[in-house]
Amino acid sequence: MTGGGLVGIGHEVDRHTVIRPHNLAMKRGSLMNYRALFVGFGVTMLLFTGCGTENPPTPTPKSLPYESTLLGRGHQIFSNTCTPCHGQNGQGISGPALWGPNSAVAGFPGFSQLEQFIQQNMPASNPGSLTPAQAQAVASFLWHQNHR
């Protein structure tokens, strides 16, 4: 076609031709199927919006069944082992403060990272000397001080 015609669905039309739904190559039933497919896809995408690659929540001492016993042991170990550097109230002396919004503990992304750090690096005078159970107890006590 010449002279500024428009191309319609499957055929050419001139500027003044009105394309009516019954003129379209796609039947109404097919159009409804596409709409249903589009709506279904949209709903599916909304359902998956909440799914992501975020790490699962780190278990905290609050979820441990023996919380009070663990916290008591952690406090005792902290008092005997950690206070020379961190102070009785965790305020920090030669070591950093251990509770509060700007504390070293507040910088840990989760409980397990704190527990692992304590196990491998504390006390500073004898790194790695705490047993895994002692490190868990101290981490529980410190985590509780920062998340109550």
Mean pLDDT, the chain cut into blocks of 10 residues (148 residues total): 52 55 53 62 61 56 64 96 96 95 92 95 96 95 89
Spell out the domain ranges in the chain: 6-49, 61-146
Q: What is the pLDDT of residue 32?
A: 60
- The tokens describing 139, both together, are 């981490």
Res 13: pLDDT? 53
**Residue type for position 48:** F
Among 76, 59, 65, 67, which Cα is nearest to 130's?
A: 76
Report helix, strand and coil shares of the chain as percent, to nearest 5. Answer: 50, 5, 45
Which pLDDT score, from 0 to 100, does residue 65 have? 39
| Fold of the 61-146 domain | Cytochrome Bc1 Complex; Chain D, domain 2 (1.10.760)
